[in-house]
Amino acid sequence: MEIMWISATYDRGVTSSATYHADLGKRVLEWGGTNLRDLPWRRTREPWVILVSETMLQQTQVSRVSERLPDFLERFPDPSTCAAAGAGEVVAAWAGLGYNRRPLMLHRAAVQMVALHAGAVPSGLTDLLALPGVGPYTARAVRAFAFELPAAVVDTSIGRVYARLLGRRLTSGEVQQVADYTASDDEPWLWNQSIMELGAIVCTKRSPSCGSCPVDDLCAWRGVGDDPAMGSAGVSVPQAPFEGSDRQLRGRLVDAMRRGPVRRSDLPAVMQTDNERAGRVLAGLERDGLAVVSAADVRLP
């Protein structure tokens, strides 16, 4: 890992990777201390709030999550309340946030927390990763943002920052190694929030503001030549078009089921497609646990 840092910064006149690392860490923390946006999930260290918000933020705009989070938490203020509700209630409350498997997994995680952790969100990485729907990013985010424990979070923004700093594409393992090597163990909350914010508002995907970046002179790319973030693991790639996709049809049916059971005979009209495709989409929803199917109708679990 040290060789990687030296090779990335040698032409900048840095004498050692330790010097580079210390300078990078100091500047990012100082920048984050005065530049973090005021977001609801940054005002709390409540583990359930952090878990819910991080689940919502997966591929959903910050503004949308800020708007919907309070209502969801009012209805499901803790894992026990969420677990006691039906999965369908949680999915129904998720309306407008997309990716409807997420609330289903959140409900299953809440059930597991009640069964294994006395209704509390665990702090251990292994325990967090064992929760349904919780992957490496969310587990580390909960550790850093709720418990302020050492953890190196890697999301799209952070992966983009590291690829550009190093000036080359990174594999998923390399991104996590770089994050682990760089993260501050003394200030895990501020470090992860700061490096993430840097990617979100300065080192952006399309129009990075290199001139206002606090680590511009430590960056191997600096906006010149091919962007090393493109194709790096952990950096988002364009999705297939939503319009006309099975994802759109799934969403139409789930939205209809939020209002009540849907008759089997109405499925093509509800999804705005033919019988064969409607049946295939329904089978996928049933397989994922998002639909309960009877001879007469389909409904949320």
Q: From CA 297, how far away is CA 271, in angstroms rounded?
A: 14
Q: From CA 36, how far away is CA 58, in angstroms rounded?
A: 19
Q: From CA 119, how far away is CA 217, in angstroms rounded?
A: 47
| β pairing state of 262-263 and 292-293 | unpaired
Residue 38: count of CB within 10 angstroms of its CB: 7
Instruction: Transcribe 88-130 into DSSP letters.
Output: HHHHHHTTTS--THHHHHHHHHHHHHHHHSTTS---SHHHHHT
Is residue 110 within 8 A of residue 83, CB to CB? The reply is yes
30 is catalytic: no
> Which of 2, 30, 46, 54 is an active site residue?
54
Q: Which one, of 260, 100, 48, lies nearest residue 90 by Cα?
A: 100
Is residue 272 within 8 A of residue 281, CB to CB? The reply is no
Structural tokens at position 31? 């920048």
User: 298 pairs with which residues across the strands?
Assistant: 262, 293
Q: From CA 197, how far away is CA 201, in angstroms rounded?
A: 6
Provide the annotated active-site residues: 54
